[in-house]
Amino acid sequence: MSLAVRDETSGRGGVPVDHGQSARKIISPCFITKAAVLNPEDLRAEEKAKKSYQSFHMLTEKLKDNPHLLNPLNVRTLLEFDEDNLRDNNFKDDWYHQKQKKTNLAFQQFLSRLKYIDSIESFHDRWLEVIRRVLAGNVFDWGSKAVSDILDGNPGFDLNNSLGIIQPRLSFKDNFDSFVDKIKTFPYEEVVIFVDNAGIDFVLVIIPLTRELLKLDTKVILVGNSMPALNDVTYKEMKSYIDEASHYCNKEDGKDRLLR
């Protein structure tokens, strides 16, 4: 397994947005109320968060008159501006404590998660479990206000709860069966995974996915951001989490393929 750095502050795609009101909806002021909690050692956290939001609001006002200020104007460039703006106000990694807390909690469930996956004898059913959790794991994006409201309102919200949010199979185009038939007969030689959220998503979803791919002798490259962005896993954190996961796997099975 290899690790790689993604040279951007955010992995969001280039989804276009309208200037003005639509642009302002991309970034919610919810971080202002969370700033003190997320940065307990910084007595000026809320003040700096307000300043950061004001800067972003000023940008959206200017975009109404001149949308070419950001070229192209899309979700990605707005988020990149927001991350640069937070760093300019000395928020170097504003979600760090939250990421560490959620990651530590996820590792408490890590071995039981691996044991459950290993207990599924059917290749098809085991991969269905893994892939459904990949979809469910994306729920744990604290940068989304809708998700943040759910998680704040239910501190015990876990991976099982998140399954209730995603759509059931056959409610959209579903190529899962073809995918499983393919990897069972002709596994991929190499897979690149762009990691996203820290905590449950990375520890209980992406690492088990990586482990199943390694069992097929597939080379796996995990790609993380070079710098902090919301609650995304950074390259440095990813190395640390993989190292910790390998120790857990070693306790369970010295031949675990995650140790590659």
pLDDT, averaged per 10 consecutive residues of the chain (260 residues), comes to 52 51 51 70 80 85 85 80 80 81 91 94 96 81 61 65 64 82 96 92 94 95 88 91 85 48
Q: How far apart are CA 45 and CA 43, in angstroms?
A: 6
Q: How far apart are CA 12 and CA 225, in angstroms?
A: 11
Same domain as 105, residue 62: no
Residue 73's domain spans which residues? 13-88
Query: How many distinct structural domains can be found in the chain?
Result: 2
Q: What confidence score (pLDDT) does residue 144 get?
A: 61
Same domain as 219, residue 136: yes
Q: What is the DSSP string of 200-240?
A: HIIIIIIHHHHHHHHHTT-EEEEEEESS--TTBPBHHHHHH
**Phi/psi-derived region of residue 174, left when phi > 0, alpha when psi is between -120 and 50, beta in every other case:** beta
CB 2 within 8 A of CB 222: yes
Same domain as 113, residue 50: no
> Final residue of a domain: which of 67, 88, 109?
88
Q: What confidence score (pLDDT) does residue 141 get?
A: 63
Q: What confidence score (pLDDT) does residue 254 get?
A: 45
Same domain as 100, residue 79: no
Q: What confidence score (pLDDT) does residue 67 get?
A: 84
> Final residue of a domain: which of 58, 88, 118?
88
Instruction: Please tell me the pTM assigned to this model.
Output: 0.75
Angle ∠(123,3,207) on CA atoms, nearest 5: 35
Same domain as 110, residue 32: no
Same domain as 157, residue 134: yes
Q: What confidence score (pLDDT) does residue 260 get?
A: 41
Same domain as 247, residue 118: yes
> Final residue of a domain: which of 59, 88, 117?
88
Q: What confidence score (pLDDT) does residue 11 get?
A: 41
In a domain, 5, yes or no: no
Same domain as 142, residue 67: no
Three-state DSSP state, 19:
coil
In a domain, 251, yes or no: yes
Same domain as 116, residue 53: no
Q: What confidence score (pLDDT) does residue 39 get?
A: 75
Same domain as 255, residue 126: yes
Q: What confidence score (pLDDT) does residue 248 get?
A: 77
